[in-house]
Each structure stands twice: as C-alpha cells, then as structure tokens.
Amino acid sequence: MKFLDLAKVYIRSGGGGNGCISFRREKNAEYGGPNGGDGGRGGTVWVEVVDGLNTLIDFRYQQHFFAKSGQSGMGQQRTGKDGDDIVLRVPVGTEILDEDQETVIADLTEVGQRIQLAKGGNGGFGNLHFKSATNQAPRRANPGQEGVERTIWLKLKLIADSGLLGLPNAGKSTFLAASSNARPKIADYPFTTLHPNLGVVGIDNAEFVIADIPGLIAGAHEGRGIGDRFLGHVERCSVLLHLIDGTSDTIAEDYRTIIGELEAYGGELSTKARVTALNKIDALDDDERAEAQAELEAAVGGPVLMMSGVSREGLSEVLRAVRAEIEDDRIRSKPAEEAETWRP
C-alpha cells in the first residue's frame, strides 16, 4: 500500500431545492387554494474515522466530493427529496486543516468520530407555507439555500507511543526490525526509509507502538533532504528515542544537528522526553566504546545507553528505558500465551 500523509480536497454541500408555486385545480373545487410543496434539503459532507486505514492514498485519485442538491418541491403539497450525503473516510490520526494549512478544523484521534464539514442548504418554502387569513392565494415561493463550497487539507499524523529520531543510516530501521515484527527496508545508503513505519514492541509483558520516520539532516526545516514534514508523525508520541551512529567521526555534532532541527520545527517536540542511545556498538572495541560514550554524554549532559540493533546487545535496556517514559494508560498488556493441551 502506497503511503500518503497530505492531501488537498475540494468539497461542496448540496443546495436546497426550490419551493413550488402551485394551486389545487379540480373540477368541483372552485377555491382550491395553494398546494405548492417545499424543496428538499441538500446533502451534507461528513468526515468519519474508520479502522483499517493508515494512509490517505485514496484522496490522490479523487479530490472532488460534491453532495447532491435537494429536489424542488411539487404540487399537491409534495416535498422534494433530500440530497444524498457524502462521507469522507479517513484513518485515525487525521488532522483537518483549512485552506491556509494553519487553521485546524478538527483533530480525529478515535475510531468512529464523525465531523460535519459542510452542511447542506435548506429547502425553500412553497407557496402553501405563505397562506394566511389575509392572503389565501400567495404567488410566491422561496428558492433553496445554496450549498457550502470549501477547500480543505487532510494531514495524517500517525499515532504511536514512541518515535525514532536520527540522521540517515543511524540504524533506526534496523532497531525497529530487531525489536518488532515490522520489516522496513534496510540498506547501506542514506534515505532508505522514505515513509514512516510502525512496529509493535513487547517488553516485560507490555506492548507499545514505535514509529520510524525518515532521517533528518542539517537544514531539514528549510527543505533539505526529505525535509521535516515527517516530524508530524512523532508529535503525538510520549517519548522520542534518539539513535546516534557510534561509528561516526562526529558523534557530538550529529546529536546537536537533530536537536537543532527539533527546535527549528517548533511545537512541543523539543521539550518531549527523550532517550538517547549510541547505536552500532558491535562495530567498536572497548576503548572506542568508552571514548564514544564519553563524547556523547558530554554533549547530552546526561547518561547515554549503548546498544546494537544487529547483535541485539543492550536492546532490552533501551526498550525498558522507553517503556518507563510512556504513560501507563497508553501501554497495552501483552496477551498471555495459552498452554498447548497435550493430545495423543
């Protein structure tokens, strides 16, 4: 399934049907009076969160959603038919923005949420509605109310408990593959990961979701590399896991590069809880490990964990540190494995 996390959509609700001007005309009814019916209501545009989706790819092939207008009223006091509604089905974590891409219309975080985006127009009154004691044969009717037309942006922010940060080739995808059943693409060149990946990690009978996003480089907030648009996928996380390549010659500089990009991005990312880990220690000897750890701890100003996604050394300690920073209400208990019954 192709991944798409930003889509521009044009919507329009249906207009109301016009009221009808009609009079009762029968052989033996000399003063039949008005009998024009009201117009039908126009269709409304809704957005609904459904389960089983993790991309907005459907909105790449269809961007226009126009609800049907209501039917006009008819004689014999008949009301026009209402227009059919249109429902946009989106994944959990979708943010709906106005045309300026800044004003947030709705933030959809739960399955089943349903928001009205454009209300259908009301139907116009027929001349029967205007009959009174002083005007028993009105020859006027209201037109239907016009529909609402607007342009919106759908922005998907994946919902995960923890997010992976680091430069390209820091070992983020290898870590995700080693700690979960996710199978992201892994290769020895920058920007192997081009879209976010999710993995469910289990440690100490607890499960939580980790999001792996494409690597950041210096100047990402200015659009360099893939840019920082994927940082939105870790905004909802409780904790960020920052991986540093232990084989790099500029470990402290690599750390400061990512922190600088988080501060340039703004929001709450720069103040979120972080766990910093030195990765790829399987390629270092004891002296190199101690030197790299001391350099990184001096830059961080606190303790640094050591790990390797390939040899799985220190993997459990890192997962426990991440687990400790996640709120208890977001942790899911790992289902106990049922003992197999013996059969002859």
Examine the pLDDT at 203 and tell me if it is beyond 90.
Answer: no
Same domain as 235, residue 210: yes
Residue 43's pLDDT is what?
A: 95
Same domain as 319, residue 200: yes
- Section 222-250 average pLDDT: 79
Examine the pLDDT at 191 and tell me if it is beyond 80.
Answer: no
CA distance 303 to 298: 9
Which of 156, 183, 207 is the last residue before a domain boundary?
156
- Section 100-116 average pLDDT: 89
Same domain as 209, residue 129: no
Hey, is 226 helix, strand or coil? coil
Examine the pLDDT at 188 and tell me if it is beyond 90.
Answer: no
Lowest mean pLDDT across 74-83, 225-234, 237-246: 225-234
Is residue 343 situated within a structural domain?
A: no
Which amino acid is residue 279, in one-letter code? N
Q: Above pLDDT 90, what percent of the chain?
A: 29
Same domain as 309, residue 225: yes
Examine the pLDDT at 335 and tell me if it is beyond 80.
Answer: no
CA distance 262 to 259: 5
Q: pLDDT, tens digit, for every residue of 114-170?
A: 999 999 999 999 999 999 989 988 999 999 999 999 999 998 887 788 888 888 888
Q: pLDDT, tens digit, for every residue of 310-324?
A: 888 888 888 888 888
In the chain, the number of structural domains is 2
Same domain as 151, residue 190: no
165: Cβ contacts below 8 Å, ≥ 6 apart: 172, 213, 216, 234, 240, 241, 242, 243, 258, 262
Same domain as 188, residue 259: yes
Is residue 145 situated within a structural domain?
A: yes
Same domain as 110, residue 133: yes
Which of 156, 188, 212 is the last residue before a domain boundary?
156
Q: Give the residue numbers spanning the domain of 283.
A: 162-333
**What totals of helices (H) and strands (E) does the chain contain, helices first?**
5, 15
Same domain as 143, residue 195: no
CA distance 136 to 155: 55
Is residue 341 situated within a structural domain?
A: no
Same domain as 310, residue 166: yes
- Section 63-92 average pLDDT: 93
Which of 132, 156, 180 is the last residue before a domain boundary?
156
Is residue 340 situated within a structural domain?
A: no
DSSP sequence for 281-341: GGGS-HHHHHHHHHHHHHHHTS--EE--TTT-TTHHHHHHHHHHHS-GGG-EEPPPPPPPP
Per-residue confidence band for 328, with pLDDT thresholds at 50, 70 and 90: low
Q: 270-273: long-range contacts (C-beta < 8 A, 24 or more apart)?
A: 272/237, 272/238, 272/239, 272/240, 273/238, 273/239, 273/240, 273/325
Q: 261-268: long-range contacts (C-beta < 8 A, 24 or more apart)?
A: 261/216, 261/218, 261/220, 261/221, 261/228, 261/231, 262/165, 262/231, 264/221, 264/228, 265/221, 265/228, 265/231, 267/235, 268/235
- Section 106-119 average pLDDT: 91
Hey, is 29 helix, strand or coil? strand
Same domain as 292, residue 167: yes
Is residue 128 situated within a structural domain?
A: yes
pTM of the model: 0.73
Hey, is 187 helix, strand or coil? coil
Residue 269's pLDDT is what?
A: 77
- 68: tokens are 């049907």
- Give me the CATH number covering residue 212: 3.40.50.300
- Give me the CATH number covering residue 117: 2.70.210.12
**Mean pLDDT score of the chain, rounded to an integer?**
84
- 256: tokens are 């400061």
Per-residue confidence band for 341, with pLDDT thresholds at 50, 70 and 90: low
Examine the pLDDT at 336 and tell me if it is beyond 60.
Answer: no
Examine the pLDDT at 13 and tell me if it is beyond 90.
Answer: yes
Q: pLDDT, tens digit, for every residue of 258-287?
A: 888 888 877 777 788 888 888 888 888 888
Same domain as 234, residue 136: no
Same domain as 150, residue 33: yes
Report the 3 state secondary structure along 264-284. Answer: HHCCCHHHCEEEEEEECHHHC
